[in-house]
């Protein structure tokens, strides 16, 4: 695909309703989990994103039959190969989540080590500790991680790391443990809604998992799993991103989000309410309305779920740029995840970094400028700032956005934004 850029003409008010897509970070491990059975699985509400297409390429390479009909995917892994090559894995580090199901299904796996990325080094030491805990031999050679187990046996496994729990690490160990002998207990497990969604899918396949959504997950191994159908949960980060768009550019009519699970993003909605924005909640919708009095900057720290999500940190920086007072965000999960700050400053933001804390003083106006996307969420933050800025903002390397947001520009245009997608 030729390189593209977005041209955002700022200052247009946003109003109306937008439908939130299925969760990228739920669909990725759930698609990997289809490797655990030779029967057909049907996954609904899968968003059309390049990251998901990369995962489908890897599954096809591993021998899966994949059929797609709009948001529904049928996957059948009758006979699996166990080597995921570098030229596929390097495109998306989340490919690492095929290790667990391959080990569970075939008792071996070879996957290229994921590179780092702009938000920092992305180690998988906790994943490997977990696999060893289940009795697997782990070897790292030639840029690949190789797993082998004559037999997988359940055990008590602690997955807590220096930066807290690991989401994909928890997914990987859960997917290897479902076919292990006996009981596995994961201590220090990630509690994200996407981990719960994966556990629910695995239980539909015949697994015996309890405690998903808490720090202690118990898995009782079973001999084999069968096919299942599953609806992927809505994307809470896409939802949070649209709430911030509505906060920054919304009108009195408000911006209504459909197909959301409000209980999955309470840390984000609490922050917006504390800042003075008004939110209206219904069972699967949230409407964001402008603040009655001037909204105020607040102090935030990113934490593992249910704390404030690191994947919403950049978007809040964009909001703080144009909010009265001082907003600060401390990044505890990926301390280097501030590529967006330098770009926001090109647009007139008053921002500085002290260690892993961004300090943003609200300014009266942002001005459009050519900026460069760097990682998925930083790119979204630049679009948000462009919507609010005066004049035109050109955002290059739009492929970062297309990795994690389904038709972000079209959805914003439907709300009243003026955005063009052009060849770079």
Name the residue nearer to ligand EPZ (CB basis): 113 or 389.
Answer: 113
Name the residue nearer to ligand EPZ (CB basis): 287 or 310.
Answer: 310
Residue 203 beta carbon to ligand EPZ: minimum distance, rounded to whole angstroms: 20
Name the residue nearer to ligand EPZ (CB basis): 311 or 406.
Answer: 311
Separation CA 388–CA 382 (nearest Å): 10
DSSP 332: S
Among 117, 317, 321, 322, the active-site one is 117
Residue 191 beta carbon to ligand EPZ: minimum distance, rounded to whole angstroms: 11
Classify burial at 406, counting beta carbons within 10 Å of its beta carbon; exposed 0-12, middle 13-18, buried 19 or more.
buried
Question: What are the φ/ψ torsions at residue 86 (nearest 5 degrees)?
Answer: -60, -40
Task: Identify the residue whose tokens are 């118990």.
Answer: 218
User: What b/e string do you get for 226-253 counting C-beta neighbours within 10 Å, with b at 16 or more?
Assistant: ebbebbbbbbbbbbbbbbbbbbbbbeee
Residue 49 beta carbon to ligand EPZ: minimum distance, rounded to whole angstroms: 10
Residue 380 beta carbon to ligand EPZ: minimum distance, rounded to whole angstroms: 9
Which parts of this chain interact with ligand EPZ (CB under 6 A)? 25, 28, 94, 122-127, 161-163, 166-169, 190, 310-311, 333-334, 376-377, 404
Contact, 253 vs 278, CB < 8 A? no
What tokens appear for 166 in the block?
Answer: 């690991």
Name the residue nearer to ligand EPZ (CB basis): 156 or 282.
Answer: 156
Separation CA 184–CA 212 (nearest Å): 13
Name the residue nearer to ligand EPZ (CB basis): 47 or 290.
Answer: 47
Please indicate whether residue 322 is annotated as part of the active site: no
Residue 171 beta carbon to ligand EPZ: minimum distance, rounded to whole angstroms: 7
For residue 405, the Cα-to-chain-centroid distance in whole angstroms is 10
Element (H, E) at 406: none
Query: Mind telling me the catalytic residues?
Result: 117
């Amino acid at each position: 695909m030729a390189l593209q850029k977005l041209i955002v003409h700022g200052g247009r008010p946003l109003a109306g309703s937008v439908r939130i897509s299925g969760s990228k970070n739920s669909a990725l491990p759930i698609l990997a989990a289809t490797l655990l059975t030779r029967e057909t699985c049907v996954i609904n509400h899968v968003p059309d994103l390049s990251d998901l297409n990369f995962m489908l390429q890897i599954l096809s390479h591993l021998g899966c039959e994949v059929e797609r009909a709009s948001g529904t995917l049928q996957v059948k892994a009758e006979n699996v190969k166990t080597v995921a090559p570098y030229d596929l894995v390097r495109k998306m580090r989340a490919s690492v989540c095929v290790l667990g199901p391959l080990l569970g299904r075939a008792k071996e796996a070879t996957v290229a080590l994921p590179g780092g990325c702009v938000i920092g080094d992305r180690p998988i030491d906790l994943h490997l500790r977990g696999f060893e805990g289940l009795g697997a031999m782990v070897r790292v050679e030639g840029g690949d991680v190789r797993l082998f187990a004559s037999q997988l046996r359940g055990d008590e496994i602690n997955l807590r790391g220096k930066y807290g729990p690991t989401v994909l690490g928890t997914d990987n160990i859960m997917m290897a443990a479902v076919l292990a002998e006996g009981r596995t207990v994961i201590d220090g497990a990630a509690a994200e809604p996407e981990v719960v969604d994966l556990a629910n899918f695995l239980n539909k396949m015949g697994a015996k998992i309890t405690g998903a959504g808490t720090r202690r997950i118990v898995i009782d191994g079973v001999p084999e799993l069968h096919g299942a159908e599953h609806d992927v949960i809505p994307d809470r980060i896409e939802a949070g991103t649209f709430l911030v768009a509505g906060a920054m550019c919304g009108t009195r009519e408000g911006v209504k989000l459909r197909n959301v699970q409000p209980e999955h993003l309470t840390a984000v909605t609490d922050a917006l309410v504390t800042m003075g924005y008004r939110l209206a909640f219904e069972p699967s919708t949230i409407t964001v309305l402008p603040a009655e009095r001037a909204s105020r900057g607040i102090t935030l720290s990113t934490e593992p779920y249910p704390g404030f999500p690191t994947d919403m940190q950049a978007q809040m920086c964009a909001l703080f740029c144009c909010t009265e007072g001082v907003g600060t965000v401390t990044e505890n999960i990926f301390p280097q995840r501030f590529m967006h700050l330098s770009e926001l400053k090109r647009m007139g933001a008053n921002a500085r970094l002290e260690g892993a804390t961004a300090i943003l003083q609200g300014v009266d106006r942002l001005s459009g400028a050519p900026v460069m996307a760097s990682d998925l969420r930083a790119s979204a933050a630049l679009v948000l700032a462009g919507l609010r800025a005066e004049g035109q903002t050109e955002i290059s390397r739009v492929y970062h956005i297309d990795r994690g947001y389904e038709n972000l520009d079209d959805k914003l245009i439907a709300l009243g934004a003026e955005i063009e997608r052009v060849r770079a």
